[in-house]
Amino acid sequence: MNLQRVAAMIQRHFYLYQRSPPRIMEIFFWPLMDLLVWGFITIYLQRTQLNLPRFVLFFLGALLLWDLLYRAQQGISISFLEEVWSKNLLNLFVSPLRPCEFLAALMTISVAKMLIAGLASALMAWWLYSFNVFVIGVALIPFTLNLLVMGWSIGIISMSAILRAGQQAEVLAWGLGFLIQPVSAVFYPVSVLPAWIQPVALALPSSHIFEGMRLVLETGILPYDSLIKATLLNGVIITGAIAFFYHTLRVVKDKGLLIQRGTE
Amino acid sequence: MKQDTPPLALEVTHLTKSFNGVTAVNDISFTVSEGEIVGLLGPNGAGKTTLIQLLLGLITETSGTIHILGMDLKKDRSKILSQVNFSSSYVSMPTSLTLWENLNVFAKLYGIRDYKDQINRLLTLLEIHSLKDSLTRHLSSGQLTRLSLAKALLNTPRLLFLDEPTASLDPDMADKTRTLLKAIRDQYKITLLYTSHNMKEMQEISDRIIFLYQGKILVSGTPAAVLDHFKENSLESVFLKVARGGNAE
Ligand SMILES: Nc1ncnc2c1ncn2[C@@H]1O[C@H](COP(=O)(O)OP(=O)(O)OP(=O)(O)O)[C@@H](O)[C@H]1O
Ligand SMILES: [Mg+2]
């Protein structure tokens, strides 16, 4: 791993964002829209005597955490697409940059995107609804780390799919995260899901994180059990995602698809 | 170093690549000496791009071996990549970065030490220095080609692959780029393997021509030798003879 090359790739994206107000806006726009819609829904529900316990807390907490996962994923998949769109992929693949360095750079960009968007959303939630996400307490740190690693995994899987299948798979860069949202127990417990799909939910680190979040908010107890499960599952998933990426690279080189991805 | 045989920049033996059923490169063997300029000529689909991608390790070969600068491409790919480079009319660069920023990123990817001097030198050589702070998206295609060439020369490559570098250029720009390639050759003593559909260009700057047809080397030699081989007086007529008459010889 050559850190100078990793830094060069990060700098390339820094240049890009520095010059692109729409890209910077995009980081803040969606979380703000989500917060507005969901925040007002929860306020409305509270006022209609549906006196659900800690409703605002649950929803806004879930929303903010979900956005962390989504940003982490996009930090990988969209950054990769930037290279495809600018026909720069071949330039990178004929340079000494190694795939692991490429991944390391994308992961770092993903951390940056997640932190910036996360802090901005947290501030907006506090300002709009006096919701302080830090009431989650120290558990916020392992939650965030787990969401980050899961976001990386989904990002790497969608990137590999785009490498393999080309433009027709580009929608995965945005969509794959939302595909797993219904089974991630983001806004409701796993027990609400039909029995047959519950195993799928429990196999995802995200469901344990969101269950854990609700437990902390409700009882203040640190959900060690959920955290351990999420971490172990994440270990498996990120390993699988990276292996899938390397496997895809081999397939793509064998089928001669790199040049198509780099120039289509 | 032996005096009679210059060291090999490239040694390809029995290289074959099939894409389920289509054999794009068919049992090719050839060598390129250091400092040589070799033009790959051949009709559409002859296998030129596939060959170049194979030599860069962007495509895995079905069989055969590739040695570049004495190293095995399979084993030492990243070491080789730091000493070679590539450019083509079908690649581009991030358009929202300035020329300087783009070259800066690549200079770091290639680990260039005195990168500021090197970037300035290349921008001047390629006559785009006044544009260094312009956004890449504002370049004309000729200027973009020059930027691509600057990127391809950043690491002072010992071996440079160019796939149709002058496609999409108007005749004037193409002519200027040719002059530039010659200047680069003289200044950097570079080994160059390139493709083009411009026969005049081939004849003008190649030391040797490799004529590919249906994945095989039909003939290889100096431009004069190739003309002689086909008993024609221009590469264009050679090309037409092969492309229309099939494997004439
Ligand atoms: N990834 C691929 N999958 C399947 N077939 C391919 C692939 N890449 C190239 N081919 C086939 O291999 C042959 C050689 O293609 P190649 O692009 O190397 O030709 P070329 O000499 O560069 O042609 P051109 O002058 O049009 O650029 C063609 O028949 C092409 O259809
Ligand atoms: Mg070609």
Note the pLDDT tens digit of each residue in A183-196.
999 988 999 999 99
Please write the tens of the pLDDT for every residue from B31-81. Answer: 999 989 999 999 999 999 999 999 999 999 999 999 999 999 999 999 999
Burial of B20 (0-12, 13-18, 19+ CB in 10 A): exposed
The C-alpha atoms of residue A71 and residue A112 are separated, in whole angstroms, by: 9
Pocket of ligand 1 (CB under 6 A): A 255-257; B 19, 22, 24, 42, 44-50
CA B207 / ligand 1 centre spacing (Å) = 25
Judging contacts by C-beta atoms under 8 Å, the chain B residues touching residue A87 are: 90-93
Please write the tens of the pLDDT for every residue from A10-44. Answer: 999 999 998 888 888 888 888 888 888 887 887 78
Strand order in the sheet with B71-72: B22-33, B8-19, B63-68, B71-72
**Among residues of chain A, what percentage have pLDDT more than 90?**
61
Chains A, B: CB contacts under 8 A, how many?
A: 103
Average pLDDT, chain A: 90
Task: Find the radius of gyration of the CA atoms of chain A.
Answer: 19
Nearest CA to ligand 1 atom 26: B44
| More confident of the two residues B180 and A10 | A10
pLDDT at B4: 60
**Per-residue DSSP letter, B3:** S
Residue B29 pairs in a beta bridge with none
Q: What share of chain B is helix, strand, coil (3-state, %, to 5)?
A: 40, 25, 35
Nearest CA to ligand 1 atom 30: B45
Contact of B22 with chain A, judged by CB distance below 8 Å, is answered with no
The C-alpha atoms of residue A61 and residue A72 are separated, in whole angstroms, by: 17
Ligand 1 nearest-atom number relative to CA B43: 25
CA B245 / ligand 2 centre spacing (Å) = 21
Please answer yes or no on whether A258 and B85 come within 8 Å at the CB atom: no
Ligand 1 nearest-atom number relative to CA A255: 1
Nearest CA to ligand 1 atom 11: B24
The C-alpha atoms of residue A56 and residue A39 are separated, in whole angstroms, by: 7
Provide the pairing of β-strand B8-19 with B22-33.
Answer: antiparallel
Return the CATH fold of B1-83+157-249.
Answer: Rossmann fold (3.40.50)
pLDDT at B197: 87
Please write the tens of the pLDDT for every residue from A127-178. Answer: 888 888 888 888 889 999 999 999 999 999 999 999 999 988 888 888 888 8
pLDDT band at B1 (very low <50, low <70, confident <90, very high): very low
> Which among B73, B67, B84 has a CA at the least distance from the CA of B30?
B67
The C-alpha atoms of residue B164 and residue B197 are separated, in whole angstroms, by: 7
C-alpha distance from A255 to closest chain B C-alpha (Å): 6
Contact of B16 with chain A, judged by CB distance below 8 Å, is answered with no
Ligand 1 nearest-atom number relative to CA B215: 14
Q: What is the pTM of this model?
A: 0.92
pLDDT band at B231 (very low <50, low <70, confident <90, very high): confident
Tokens of residue B210, six digits: 């490799």
What number is the ipTM of this complex? 0.91
Considering only the beta carbons, identify the residue of A7, A20, A255 that sits closest to B19: A255
CA B157 / ligand 1 centre spacing (Å) = 26
Q: Three-state SS for B37?
A: strand
Indicate the domain borders of chain A.
3-263
Considering only the beta carbons, identify the residue of A11, A86, A256 that sits closest to B53: A256
Q: By the 8 A CB rule, do A261 and A163 touch?
A: yes
Indicate the domain borders of chain B.
1-83+157-249, 91-154
- From chain A residues 9-28, the ones with a CB under 8 A of any chain B CB are 9, 11-12, 15-16, 19-20
The C-alpha atoms of residue B136 and residue A170 are separated, in whole angstroms, by: 25
Please answer yes or no on whether B60 and A250 come within 8 Å at the CB atom: yes
Please answer yes or no on whether A88 and B81 come within 8 Å at the CB atom: no
Contact of B239 with chain A, judged by CB distance below 8 Å, is answered with no
